[in-house]
Amino acid sequence: MMNVAVIGSGTMGNGIAHVFAQHGFPVSLIDISQPALDKALGTIGKNLDRQVAKGSLSEDDKAATLGRITTFTSIAEGVRGVELVVEAATENVDLKLQIFRDLDQHAPEGAILASNTSSISITKIAAVTKRADKVIGMHFMNPVPVMKLVEVIRGYATSDEVTSRIMEISRQLGKTPTEVNDYPGFVANRILMPMINEAIITLFEGVAGVEEIDTVMKLGMAHPMGPLQLADFIGLDVCLAILRVLHEGLGNPKYAPCPLLVNMVMAGRLGVKSGEGFYSWGHGTKDLIVADRFKK
């Protein structure tokens, strides 16, 4: 199995490391914060415990999976000898560009550099490296151990060989890869984010309340989660950032983020991660409770 490095140990990063390690890949999990790395290993352990409890994984497999993950706080050390790097840092273009400059300098010459970005141009990321043909998007869905899709994004210079290799690696992880081209929002977020934004506009204009909007989409469109609940789950700051990429990249006013979304992000109401968005998440139960601001 090829050696893999994952940059970033947050929700997406630890999920990506989990899946690679579970399928036999030695993984270097890299983050600037050792406490964040320790927390990530704890999260992976808990998620593996759930799989053991469901009977889909043995205790020996759990131990072997954790044994394949090594943590590093240095990119230079963590990418030594790897054949694939998957960057899963915060969705910030300047941060990602700096990471890819560092990766280009320290990763082996033949290593493929992939980004888990949900909206930032792969072509733009590739342009700061000297290996644009080996830079590709590998957009996993959250939660990574559960969701089957990997959106594989070809940059302007990404080679056929690298694309085929990433498609095959995705299949080895038990995922279903889907190849798309590098345009703002790719496919998943170009379709999803305008829907979420329209749901927020519908709330903003007083057409219906939070529960009503989500109920219509869950029961009428067979969505497992309503768009406002999903926005809370994704993070309202992430939704806003992706909408801005769409608006700026495509120049179409239909992608302009709803003023309510902008205000909520400015106020720090980011959804699950902050404890409140369209719903309240700090009550310690599984009940779906609308945030006080949006109660009738």
Percent of the chain with pLDDT over 90: 96
* Tens of pLDDT, residues 43-66: 999 999 999 999 999 999 999 999
In this prediction, residue 284 has a pLDDT band, given cuts at 50, 70 and 90, of: confident
Of 47, 119, 170, 189, catalytic: 189
Instruction: Say what the pLDDT of residue 272 is.
Output: 95
* Residue 119 marked as a ligand binder: no
DSSP tag of 84: E
* Tens of pLDDT, residues 228-256: 999 999 999 999 999 999 999 999 999 99
Dihedrals phi, psi of 211, to nearest 5 degrees: -65, -40
Instruction: Say what the pLDDT of residue 196 is.
Output: 98
HSE-CB for 31 with a 13 A CA cutoff: 23
Instruction: Say what the pLDDT of residue 91 is.
Output: 87
* Tens of pLDDT, residues 103-150: 999 999 999 999 999 989 999 999 999 999 999 999 999 999 999 999
* Residue 148 marked as a ligand binder: no
Our CA dihedral for 212, 215, 217, 218, rounded to 10 degrees, sits at 170
Separation between Cα atoms, residue 250 and residue 191, nearest integer Å? 13
Coil, strand, or helix at residue 219?
helix
* Residue 33 marked as a ligand binder: no
Of 3, 47, 116, 118, catalytic: 118
CA 113 to the chain's CA centroid: 16
Does 33 participate in catalysis according to the annotation?
no
Of 18, 106, 139, 247, catalytic: 139
* Tens of pLDDT, residues 182-222: 999 999 999 999 999 999 999 999 999 999 999 999 999 99
Does 118 participate in catalysis according to the annotation?
yes
Instruction: Say what the pLDDT of residue 287 is.
Output: 87
Does 139 participate in catalysis according to the annotation?
yes
* Residue 11 marked as a ligand binder: yes
* Residue 185 marked as a ligand binder: no
Coil, strand, or helix at residue 108?
coil
Instruction: Say what the pLDDT of residue 251 is.
Output: 96
In this prediction, residue 168 has a pLDDT band, given cuts at 50, 70 and 90, of: very high
Provide mean pLDDT across the span 258-281.
97
Is it the case that residue 1 has pLDDT exceeding 90?
Answer: no
* Residue 205 marked as a ligand binder: no
* Residue 263 marked as a ligand binder: no
Sketch out the chain's domains with CATH numbers.
4-181 (3.40.50.720), 189-294 (1.10.1040.50)
Does 247 participate in catalysis according to the annotation?
no
Between strands 84-87 and 112-115, the pairing is parallel
Of 87, 151, 211, 276, catalytic: 151
Instruction: Say what the pLDDT of residue 285 is.
Output: 80
* Residue 96 marked as a ligand binder: yes
